[in-house]
Amino acid sequence: MSRIDGLFARKNPVFIGFTVAGDPGIETSFRVAKTMIDAGVDLLEIAIPYSDPVADGPVIERAHARALRAGTTPDDVFALVRQVREHAPDLPVVLFTYYNIVYRRGLDRFFAETAAAGADGVLIVDLPVEESGEVAPSALRHGIDRIALIAPTTSPERQHAILREASGFVYLISLEGVTGERDRLPLHVAGLVGAVREKTDLPLAVGFGVSRPEHVGAVAAVGANGVIVGSALVRIVEEHLGDEAGMHEALRTAIKAMRCGIVPDPGPDIPRRERVEG
């Protein structure tokens, strides 16, 4: 059983935290990751910095830029994963990346290095299912889960095609557009969770726009197996660039507050709320 499978088997729902490797500096980013883990992140999603992060909103886009200015390379990202693995041997780690990074590295080399570093899954955010055939053999060969993305606009037919290629868990995008904090979550999240649940036994994790404790609680309440928080945590790094001690304290406070929004699965006999309110 993989670390991702084991996590979802023993804990539901889980809290997934996102960070950009190398933000705001290569050494500091490990301390950021360590703080997030120690504060209660159940699964860590680490972005490989990229110059054109089209799926990301302004907060995360600026984090990519800071990391690149700091000189962060894929080699540095793999080194960061190894540090995380030493600190937290059982913690699942997923790399968030854009396909050009994988392609330029070489598909088999990229997945071999991902596995050797100790990561468990890869989410290639801009790779459509129709073009993912070359990726599958390398991921399978090296035991790396391929995390799939499903958006509110994904048709049922396309959902089936995406789910046939997925493993680990499914990343459900709560809203149209790029990543970023929102005042409220759309009402259709419950319907999206329910519709995809009918098509797969894989765990479902909801992200994009989830940035407050009440958002976390609302997503958990509609039956999601995981809640993903990204921009709200990356923003804390940005707001404390000159105050690393304050950065870590703010991250701990935010993660603990958001984790309080997660209510354990009440079981099949207790109905959940039928919609998400921001």
Catalytic residue among 5, 23, 38, 56: 56
DSSP H helix total and E strand total for the chain: 12, 9
E-assigned strand segments in 79-198: 93-97, 121-124, 145-146, 148-150, 170-173
Catalytic residue among 5, 23, 27, 45: 45
Task: Tell me whether residue 133 is exposed, middle or buried, using C-beta atoms within 10 angstroms of its C-beta: 0 to 12, 13 to 18, 19 or more.
Answer: exposed
Q: Percent helix, strand and coil across the chain, each rounded to 5?
A: 45, 15, 40
Q: Give catalytic status of residue 45 as yes or no.
A: yes
- Between the two ends of the chain, the Cα-to-Cα distance in Å is 36
Residue 213, both tokens = 């404790």
Strand 170-173 versus strand 148-150 pairing type: parallel
User: How far from the centroid of its chain's Cα atoms is residue 271's Cα?
Assistant: 27
Which are the catalytic amino acids?
45, 56
